[in-house]
Structure 1
Amino acid sequence: MHPTDTATLPSVGHAEIRIVAATPEAARAVAQVIRRSFAGAEQRSYPVPDGGTRLHLTVDTETAAEPALSWLTTSRPSSGTGTHVDEV
């Protein structure tokens, strides 16, 4: 677990997103696309030990833009839940 991560869940109506990219520019580009769909509350950036950037976003899922909202209402939970093998 990363030292700044916590074991608590985000507040209701919010989601934590982690982006790991080779460059800060790539991480910011992905974050920008996410912000077009969701209101962002917080953003933190950390270096990755082998180089690259890890960007953490907190988004407000209750104020989703229309394209994201329509996708959210029709999506189904994935059958594979939990942490991925390569997640810290």
Structure 2
Amino acid sequence: MKPPELPSAGRADVRIVAASPEAARQVADVLRRRFAATEQRSYPVDDSGGTRLHLTVDTIHTPEPAQPWLVSSRPSGDVRPQTDEI
């Protein structure tokens, strides 16, 4: 048996096996909050209804931090009331 091919430097291949597709997606979402990642690929796990999910994460370039709702909802400086607010 030949050894698995290693990902390029700065990348890590992640395999998630879960009882449901939703559980696998939740774990992938948590990883994406910390690491930039490729599009996930999912496969069924035999007839059990489980899901195997693969994605590659970039361990060098992290995604931009999400802004809290309050910060992202602040006015842009133009504080004039809109016509539908009068």
Please tell me the TM-score bracket, short chain as reference. 0.5 to 0.7
Whole-angstrom CA distance in 2 between matches of 1:8 and 1:42: 19
What percent of counterpart residues are identical? 67
Whole-angstrom CA distance in 1 between matches of 2:40 and 2:63: 19
List alignment gaps of at least 5 residues for structure 1: 1-5, 67-88
Partner of 1:41: 38
Instruction: Give the deviation of 1:51 after TM superposition.
Output: 2.4
Structure with more of its chain in helix, by fraction: 1
Partner of 2:68: none
List alignment gaps of at least 5 residues for structure 2: 65-86
* 1:57 alignment partner AA: L
Larger Cα-atom Rg: 2
Corresponding pairs, count: 62
Instruction: Give the deviation of 1:63 after TM superposition.
Output: 1.1
Instruction: Give the deviation of 1:64 after TM superposition.
Output: 2.8
Whole-angstrom CA distance in 2 between matches of 1:8 and 1:30: 24
TM-score by length of structure 2 reads 0.64
Whole-angstrom CA distance in 2 between matches of 1:16 and 1:65: 17
Give the conservation status (yes or no) of the 8 Å contact 1:42–1:59: no
RMSD, aligned CA:
2.1
Runs of 4+ in 1 over 6 A off after TM superposition: none
Whole-angstrom CA distance in 1 between matches of 2:38 and 2:20: 22
